[in-house]
Amino acid sequence: MPKSEIPVDVLRDILDYVDKGDLPNICRVNKICCYCSQDVLYRDIYVENRRISSVQQILAQSTHLARKVRSFDTLFDTDHLATALRNMTSLRKLRLPFRIYMDILDGCTFRLDSLGCYGVRNRNGSFQKFLSSQPSLEYVTFTMSFDPTLSLEATCLPNLTRIYATFPWLPYLIPGRPVNEVITGQCTENNHSTDLSFFALSTTPIRKLKIDYSYLYLTPGHLLASFLPSLAHFTLTVFNCFSVFTDEGVCGLPLY
């Protein structure tokens, strides 16, 4: 059967198993193969070095390609990033570069399921404004220090279920939200007298927790159990003061 006669739904299934390096060649076969191959080629974008950061320019200049992107992970900010992000109207998963100004997301219309930030610059309340515009967010990765000026309304992030964050974020993210999985890193504060009662304020039972021992050792076991009565998976970590945020390393932080 000639390739031009392959049903489109079958062609899409086949392309899911094709090596990404071969997809540009398939784009040259005909218009149908080009369109379907681009769907796969641009579905998940990871910009790991400046040599391939030209993809941001491509997405800034081509709205029809940007609309195909579902997952975008970049380590670098370029002059084209803001426009590229505004063009990615179908984006669902996003990880941003380190220490980026969050107003770069002004004008974006996508609705995320997952957001990862190494560090943000909250200029003019841009961070909380963006979070308030993302009611579909289910998973956040916040590895930066908590911003005490940040104010999260009770209606913000109503569908948040999974958190990967430094500890000071937790009392602000868990209460009033359906959080069932929490992963946090080592203790960075000198004050170890930590009130953990906020764990009980999730609207659904927390079933998975990974936490450093330094937040727990002054909390009686029976009290901790009362905060986490439905806990099914528990990981206790031990870090020294020179440890990185997780045992996976900052560059290995899971987003999805």
Q: Which pLDDT tens digit goes with each residue over 69-93? A: 999 999 888 889 999 999 999 999 9
Compute the distance between CA of residue 200 and CA of residue 150 in angstroms, rounded to an integer.
22
Share of the chain above pLDDT 90, in %: 43
Confidence of residue 42 (pLDDT cuts 50, 70, 90): confident
Instruction: Reply yes or no on whether the pLDDT at 17 is more than 80.
Output: no
pLDDT of the residue at 170: 93
Question: Would you state the structure tokens that stand for residue 229, as one six-digit string?
Answer: 């009565």
Compute the distance between CA of residue 133 and CA of residue 243 in angstroms, rounded to an integer.
34
Residue carrying structure tokens 């080629």: 41
pLDDT of the residue at 240: 54
The number of CA neighbours under 13 Å toward the Cβ of 222 is 0
Q: Which pLDDT tens digit goes with each residue over 120-144? A: 788 888 888 999 999 999 999 998 8
Q: Tell me the Cα Rg of the chain.
A: 21
Across the chain, mean pLDDT equals 82
Q: Most confidently modeled of 8-12, 16-20, 63-67, 191-195?
A: 63-67
Contacts of 158 (CB under 8 A, 6+ apart): 135, 177
Compute the distance between CA of residue 175 and CA of residue 84 in angstroms, rounded to an integer.
34
pTM of the model: 0.80
